[in-house]
Amino acid sequence: MRDIQIAAAQFEARDADKEYNFGRIEALSRQAAAAGAEIVSFHECSITGYTFLQTLSHAQIDALAEPVPGPSTERLIGLAKQLGVALLAGLIERCDGRLHKTYVAVAPEGFVAKFRKLHPFIHPSIVPGDDFVLFDLCGVRCSILICYDNNLVENPRIAALNGAELVFAPHVTGGLPSPMPGRGLIDRRLWENRHRDPVPLRMEFQGPKGRGWLMRWLPARAFENGLYYVYTNAVGVDHDTIKPGGALILDPLGEIVAESTALGDDVVVGLCTRDKLDIASGRRYIRARRPELYARLSEPLPAGQRPEVQPGWRMMK
């Protein structure tokens, strides 16, 4: 890895409105490039919109989907060439009659990589990916884990073992029902009144419905594996919920390099440096492992049992 400026963005996407969403991706990418960023990352399904997918039929999702590479990928490549930066964004992929939640990385030179979410749950028609990805982007060895994928500690550990130095972690999360104290929905009226009275919404975004929950676990993923983490999230209205944004970059020590506290569309740029990888405790922990003791981690599930992907907000319905 070399020293590099990386951007994490957040914006309020519109459901099924690829044209509008691309407009926000372009504007924020220009802003990030002007601030010196060489890579700009956006949230999951930033091209298509996300939570509303649960209300669609298979045919409706299929109509929104596209191949990867495909039209949206080519449009991202065109923007990357124009700005001279690498870009990452999410959409629904159609491949061999199957639908995937996919995240795409492109550079000015063209298509670089894609990753299919390992643990999707928003709609039964979206099937899980079955592999990790490792790719070089602007001199950094990168991996991708989408939202729920980061909740399973095995996934970032595998990314680190595969040689990743940085994980892009696109999300659409926060402001959801949960059994955890203090969590729950964010009142839409607070969002709509944010310019007149920003304090109540900021308290919600910074509390256990947003940042407070995130800080319970995400810095640990970076710290315990000695990885940079680039976290992106939607902000504002997302179907029937309010998302708290909070785009941020964490270093391999679990410390925040850059963070957005904006109550709306924003992009933050942080310097990621090689030296922090060299001193990260997580790198030492990986070398201290005793794999001969971990056979249970690779045991198959009992016959007939399938992986259960159950977000907390569904348990509360």
Tell me the pLDDT tens digit for each residue of 236-287.
999 999 999 999 999 999 999 999 999 999 999 999 999 999 999 999 999 9
Q: What is the DSSP string of 199-223?
A: HHHHHHHHSTTTHHHHTTTHHHHHH
Task: Note the pLDDT of residue 252.
Answer: 98
Would you state the pLDDT for residue 8? Answer: 99
Predicted pLDDT at 306: 85
**DSSP assignment of 43-112, as one string?**
-TTTTT-SGGGGGS-HHHHHHH-B-SSSHHHHHHHHHHHHHT-EEEEEEEEEETTEEEEEEEEEETTEEE
The residue type found at 277 is L
Contact 48, 91 (CB under 8 A): yes
Residue 69, preceding bond cis, omega within 30 degrees?
yes
Element (H, E) at 314: helix 312-315
**Can you tell me the distance from the alpha carbon of 9 to that of 267, in angstroms, rounded to the nearest whole number?**
4
Cβ(186)–Cβ(244) below 8 Å: yes
Q: Say what the pLDDT of residue 317 is.
A: 63
Query: In this structure, how many other beta carbons lie within 10 angstroms of the beta carbon of residue 298?
Result: 8
Any idea what DSSP says for residue 277? H
Domain count, the chain: 1
How many Å apart are CA 12 and CA 18, to the nearest integer? 12
pLDDT of residue 311: 83
Residue 9 sits in a domain of what CATH number?
Answer: 3.60.110.10
Domain that holds residue 292: 4-315
Say how far apart CA 79 and CA 211 lie, in whole Å.
31
The CA-CA-CA angle for residues 44, 174, 180, to 5°, reads: 140
pLDDT at residue number 122:
95
Q: Which residues of the chain have pLDDT under 50?
A: none
